[in-house]
Chains A and B, each alone.
Chain A
Amino acid sequence: MIKTDILIIGAGPTGLFTVFEAGLLKLKCHLIDALPQAGGQCSEIYPKKPIYDIPGFPEILAGDLTKNLLEQSKQFEPGFTLGERAESISKDKDGIFTVITNKGTKHQAPVVAIAGGLGSFEPRKPPLDNISFYEDKGVEYMIKDPEIYRNKNVVIAGGGDSALDWSIFLANINAKVTLIHRRNEFRGALDSVEKVRELKNNNKINIITPAEITKLNGKEKLESIIVSRDKIDTEIKVDHFIPLFGLSPKLGPIADWGLEIEKNAIKVDTFDYQTNIAGIFAIGDVNTYPGKLKLILCGFHEATLMCQSAYQIINPGKKNIFKYTTVSGIDGFDGTRKEAKKPVVQAINE
């Protein structure tokens, strides 16, 4: 059981900055994210894209913003549950929330901050008949245990980095890999493209392009696929089919938590971004209110105000006053202290 003050769902920019603002109020945070790394969309979709509207940064790459936010929050020692999706929530008689992930990890906190962006990232599934029937019976959208593919016939579909990288990885552990893509060109790191070309020249990978998978066959489990190329259909025997067409965000289980939802977003009170359930806040792109703009800088503002109310819930009646970091410095939970240098007060005439 993981216990914390503020449980943050979503480790994107808004979630990460919450750790900092909470830390100033001596509140500890733990973050849950469905992705295996922090940063949300900034690291998953566009790490190399420049952002121009972060105050004080005329230009910053989304990946660098994530790195900086992690650095800024590090002194407040946030905990992370990554690669797991927040699944269910319950509140006990003392007002403590328990959030359980899809992998069964339990978290407890008096305050929950949903900073889930557009939702948790789920694999995009190709629109093939019966594909859901074959899920976990030969069709996998994510590679969890590469060992199961050793010496097996594996078809990977897709044209981006993950299709290339996994083709290389699986070919190197002796899976019989066929890579299928709708175009001849692949959109990936130059290095990966070259490695795949080399494996192809050494007959370690079979590439079929431009082609498309049109049908899945098999009685109990997946046995073969139909590949269409130049309008000619070919049947290929397979043990595994791994479609890698990227991820798309879905609000997911949060939509069933009893929160008021409008236009795929959670309705909040703009006083402190609390939802209709006391103790659950929603900040950043996941919330909606009159005048809402889905901007990182608005998420930072919402996180800051939210922490003030979180403090009141966690420390009822305990006095506190808002302070400037320039005045009071920062005391990290890791024992570090940051503060302005004291001015030199010295007589010049002795």
Chain B
Amino acid sequence: MSDVNLIITDRDGKTHKVVAPTDMAMNLMEIIRSYELAPEGTIGVCGGMAMCASCQCYINSDNNIPEMEDEEEAMLSEAFNVKENSRLGCQIAITNELEGLLFEIAPE
């Protein structure tokens, strides 16, 4: 197991290069929280159950990420500011496939 490098743009447009472990069962939402790139209480509100859309992200690179499941798709269909490349950060696990992933945290 190794770490992967991610490039995250926060809600103020600032870009952060971060290192994320692949062996701690973490997801993108949790990485954002662990690096404090969005204020607590504005991200991962439901804890990561695809039930609040507070961790919506726009994926800006063509990494091979897992397909959306029904729950995520349903939640995104009720979220705001949704784009073609919208995903819920909590539903994307950190794996080696994410090396170099570029993504942006959607507005609150």
Contacts and interface: CB of A to CB of B under 8 A. Distances in A.
Given A45-B46, A45-B51, A159 B74 contact: yes
Contacts of B73: 183
A127 interface: yes
Given A45-B51, A248-B52, A248-B54, A118 B41 contact: yes
A182 B78 contact: yes
A158 B78 CA distance: 6
B39 A245 contact: no
Contacts of A248: 45, 52, 54
Contacts of A249: 41, 45
The size bracket of the interface on B is 10 to 19
Contacts of B80: 124, 126-127, 245
Interface string B9-32: 000000000000000000000000
A295 to B, nearest CB: 10
Contacts of B77: 159, 181-183, 185, 187
Nearest to B42: A264
B85 interface: no
A284 to B, nearest CB: 13
B2 interface: no
Interface string A170-189: 00000000000111010100
A202 to B, nearest CB: 26
A315 B79 CA distance: 50
A257 interface: no
Interface of A: 41, 45-46, 49, 118-119, 124, 126-127, 158-160, 181-183, 185, 187, 245-246, 248-249, 251, 263-265
Interface of B: 39-42, 45-46, 49, 51-52, 54, 73-74, 77-82
30 contacts: A45-B46, A45-B52, A46-B49, A46-B51, A49-B49, A118-B41, A118-B45, A119-B41, A126-B80, A127-B81, A160-B74, A160-B78, A182-B77, A182-B78, A182-B82, A183-B73, A185-B74, A185-B77, A187-B77, A245-B78, A245-B79, A245-B80, A246-B52, A248-B45, A248-B52, A249-B41, A249-B45, A263-B40, A264-B39, A265-B40
